[in-house]
Amino acid sequence: MQLVIVESPAKAKTIEKYLGRDFKVLASYGHVRDLPPKDGSVDPDDGFSMEWQLYPDKAKRLKDIQDAAKQADRLILATDPDREGEAISWHVQELLRQKKALPQKVDRVTFNAITKQAVTDAMAHPRGLDDDLIDAYRARRALDYLVGFTLSPVLWRKLPGAKSAGRVQSVALRLVVEREREIEAFVAQQYWSITGQFEMDGTPFKARLARWRGDKIERLTITNEADARAAEADVKAGHFTVDSVETKPLTRNPPPPFTTSTLQQEAARKLGFSASHTMRVAQDLYEDGAITYMRTDGVQMDGSAISAARRAIADRYDGGYVPDQPRQYQTKAKNAQEAHEAIRPTDFGKDKVGGGDHARLYDLIWKRALASQMASARLERTSVDLSDGTGKTMLRATGQVIKFPGFLALYDEGRDDSSEDDDARLLPAMAKGDAPAKTGVEVEAHETQPPPRYSEASLVKKMEELGIGRPSTYASILQVLKDRAYVRVEKNRFLPEESGRLLTAFLERFFGRYVEYDFTAGLEEELDDVSGGRAQWQAVLERFWRDFKPRTGEVMEQKPSEITAALDEFLGPYLFPDKGDGSDPRVCPNCGTGRLALRGGKFGPFIACSNYPECKFTRKFAQPGGSDGADSGPETLGTDPESGLEVTKRSGRFGPYIQLGDGKEAKRSSIPKDIPAEDFDLDYALRLLSLPRDVGMHPESGKPIVAGLGRYGPYLLHDGKYAKLTGTAEIFDIGMNAAVARIADAANGGGRGRAKAEPLKTFGPHPTSGGEMKLMAGRFGPYVTDGTTNATLPKTVEPEALTVEEAVALIDARAAKGPAKGKKKAPAKKAAAKKPAAKKAPAKKKTAE
Q: Which residues are catalytically annotated?
A: 293
Q: Which amino acid is at 457?
A: A
Under a CB-based contact definition with an 8 Å cutoff, are residues 485 and 499 in contact?
Answer: yes
Which is nearest to 401 in space by CA: 421, 420, 422, 423? 423
Neighbours of 225 (CB within 10 A): 13
Across 445-478, b (16+ Cβ under 10 Å) vs e yields eeeeeeeebbbbbbbbbbbbebbbbbbbbbbebb
Distance CA 155, CA 551 (A): 13
Which backbone phi and psi does 193 adopt, to 5 degrees? -120, 145
Distance CA 537, CA 89 (A): 19
Distance CA 116, CA 122 (A): 10
Separation in Å, CA 445 to CA 19, 53, 195, 660, 828: 69, 65, 12, 53, 80
Distance CA 184, CA 251 (A): 40
Which is nearest to 669 in space by CA: 654, 761, 40? 654
Distance CA 475, CA 464 (A): 12
Hey, is 107 helix, strand or coil?
strand
Separation in Å, CA 556 to CA 86, 160, 563, 671, 793: 38, 14, 10, 39, 54
Neighbours of 49 (CB within 10 A): 12
Q: What is the DSSP letter of 292?
A: B
Under a CB-based contact definition with an 8 Å cutoff, are residues 326 and 310 in contact?
Answer: yes
Which is nearest to 427 in space by CA: 638, 628, 242? 242
SS (H, E, C) 11-56: HHHHHHHHCCCCEEEEECCCCCEECCCCCCCEEHHHCCEECCEECH
Which is nearest to 307 in space by CA: 373, 406, 376? 373
Under a CB-based contact definition with an 8 Å cutoff, are residues 61 and 27 in contact?
Answer: yes
Q: What is the DSSP letter of 595?
A: B
Intra-chain end-to-end CA distance of the chain, in Å: 55
Distance CA 489, CA 457 (A): 13
Pairing mode of beta strands 74-77, 105-108: parallel
Across 550-579, b (16+ Cβ under 10 Å) vs e yields ebbeebeeeeeeebbebbbebbeeebbeee
Q: What string of DSSP letters covers 348-370?
A: TT----SSHHHHHHHHHHHHHHH
Residue 186 C-beta-side C-alpha neighbours within 13 Å: 17
Angle (CA) 103-106-112 rounded to 5° is 140
Q: Which amino acid is at 248?
A: K
Which is nearest to 726 in space by CA: 713, 736, 737? 713
Its sign, for the CA torsion 645, 650, 654, 655, is positive
CA 547 from chain centre, in angstroms, equals: 32
